[in-house]
């Protein structure tokens, strides 16, 4: 995995296929700014971004997620995990992104039918504990995309290593995502690049305090994530003085650094209720309007448990005209097992 990073390439929007692979799927992940690789607990949804988060506490869990995305885009996610003693931890997941129904017309504009566009990602994950602190994990993805009469197929691998110190309640992880190849292109042309990237994350449960701090560093393999619109370049000369516009190196470097970082916190209200807040600076810089930023980049949500089901909701602000809602429900089939009733003693004769 380290050798792959040496020849790796970072991707910006429009420079790689299957960009849907970078969408935050479970509600908990979305509420925490879109990145939870620095977490490790008994939530099976964490394996969506970090296969090394799999552990025995997730065994026999099933989780279903529905995401109401921008415009008419909706996507679904389902995952199930199982652990086996002395073998390891396994999980299977399916992600489907539907872009809605489109009208098919002829060259004169007459409607002749309809069609749909969808992306699919089926993943098999495996993790194994190296010792009480370290776990390594891998996910093998099969990606299928279908737009009208065009389709594409690819495979990718995620590799991860996670460290957890239960005593100090610290978790740290590094994940290599989407190392793979496209087997079938949409138009039969040259093979396209996958959205490969490296991320790291760390979390810390503050001692004797009801909250957890989470920090993620995304796209380690590319420093400059800024984008300049060739159709609307930034001015380099002051229009009044005609002198070159000088940019502060500190301010420019700080902007580039913050585009990598995702800040989040999880507040533990009670044993069954959690509040979550996240901030994604890069999302703010890329999606805000020139004269209005609003709450772009912010996300929040909550998780609560009722009986044998864990419910999560997240609200993310992507744009002044686009809000995203995530819904997730999780249960553990083992909790439905019949409990042995204590034997009733026979009445004394």
Residue 135 tokens read as: 């776990």
Between the alpha carbon of residue 273 and those of residues 267, 294, 305, the distances in Å are 9, 28, 7
Q: How far apart are CA 140 and CA 172, in angstroms?
A: 22
What distance lies between CA 102 and its chain's CA centroid? Answer: 27
How much is the average pLDDT of 204-233? 88
Per-residue pLDDT band for 338 (boundaries 50, 70, 90) equals: low
Q: What is the pLDDT of residue 336?
A: 84
CA angle 167, 170, 173 (to 5 degrees): 135
CB neighbour class for 92 (10 Å; exposed up to 12, middle 13-18, buried from 19) = middle
Return the minimum-mean-pLDDT range out of 17-21, 223-227, 289-293, 326-330: 289-293
Return the number of other C-beta atoms located less than 10 Å from residue 13's C-beta: 10
Residue 241 tokens read as: 């003085």
Q: What is the pLDDT of residue 248?
A: 78
Q: What is the pLDDT of residue 277?
A: 97
Return the minimum-mean-pLDDT range out of 5-9, 113-117, 308-312: 5-9
Q: What is the pLDDT of residue 130?
A: 93
Q: How far apart are CA 4 and CA 200, in angstroms?
A: 16
Q: What is the pLDDT of residue 282?
A: 92
Q: Facing residues of 94 across strands?
A: 78, 122
Q: What is the mean pLDDT of the chain?
A: 88
Domains of the chain: 35-335 (2.40.160)
Per-residue pLDDT band for 226 (boundaries 50, 70, 90) equals: confident
Tell me which DSSP letter residue 46 carries.
Answer: G
Give yes or no for residue 114 having a pLDDT over 60: yes
Per-residue pLDDT band for 34 (boundaries 50, 70, 90) equals: very high
Q: What is the pLDDT of residue 349?
A: 47
Give yes or no for residue 213 having a pLDDT over 60: yes
Per-residue pLDDT band for 247 (boundaries 50, 70, 90) equals: confident
The predicted-structure confidence for 169-212, as pLDDT tens digits, reads as follows 999 999 999 999 999 999 888 999 999 999 999 999 998 889 99
Find tokens 């399916």 and name the residue: 94
Q: What is the pLDDT of residue 219?
A: 94
Q: What is the pLDDT of residue 11?
A: 42
Q: How many residues does the chain have?
A: 349
The predicted-structure confidence for 250-290, as pLDDT tens digits, reads as follows 888 998 999 999 999 999 999 899 999 999 999 988 888 77
């Amino acid at each position: 995995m380290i050798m792959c990073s040496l020849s790796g390439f970072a991707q910006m929007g429009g420079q790689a296929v299957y960009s849907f692979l970078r969408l935050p799927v479970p509600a908990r992940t979305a509420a925490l700014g879109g990145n939870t690789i620095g977490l490790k607990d008994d939530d099976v949804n964490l394996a969506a971004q970090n296969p090394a988060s799999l552990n025995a506490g997730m065994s026999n869990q099933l989780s279903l997620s529905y995401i109401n995305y921008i415009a008419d885009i909706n996507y679904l996610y389902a995952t199930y995990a199982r652990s086996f003693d002395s073998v390891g931890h396994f999980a299977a997941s399916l992600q489907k992104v539907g872009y809605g129904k489109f009208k098919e017309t002829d060259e004169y504009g007459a409607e002749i039918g309809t069609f749909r566009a969808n992306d699919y990602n089926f993943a098999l994950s495996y993790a194994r504990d190296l010792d009480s602190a370290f776990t390594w994990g891998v996910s093998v993805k099969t990606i299928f995309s279908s737009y009208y009469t065009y389709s594409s197929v690819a495979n990718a691998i995620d590799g991860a290593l996670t460290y957890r110190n239960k005593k100090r309640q610290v978790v740290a992880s590094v994940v290599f995502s989407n190392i793979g190849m496209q087997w079938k292109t949409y138009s039969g042309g040259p093979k396209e690049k996958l959205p490969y990237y490296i991320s790291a994350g760390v979390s810390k449960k503050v001692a004797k305090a009801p909250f957890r701090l989470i920090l993620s560093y995304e796209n380690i393999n590319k420093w400059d994530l800024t984008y300049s619109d060739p159709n609307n370049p930034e001015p380099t000369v002051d229009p009044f003085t005609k002198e070159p516009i000088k940019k502060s190196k500190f301010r420019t470097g700080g902007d580039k650094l913050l585009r990598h970082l995702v800040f989040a916190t999880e507040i533990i209200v009670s044993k069954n209720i959690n509040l979550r807040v996240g901030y994604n600076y890069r999302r703010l810089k890329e999606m805000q309007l020139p004269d209005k930023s609003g709450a772009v980049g912010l996300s929040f949500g909550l998780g609560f448990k009722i009986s044998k089901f864990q419910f999560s909701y997240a609200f993310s602000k992507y744009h002044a005209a686009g809000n995203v809602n995530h819904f997730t429900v999780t249960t553990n089939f083992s909790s439905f097992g019949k409990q042995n009733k204590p034997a009733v003693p026979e009445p004394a004769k």
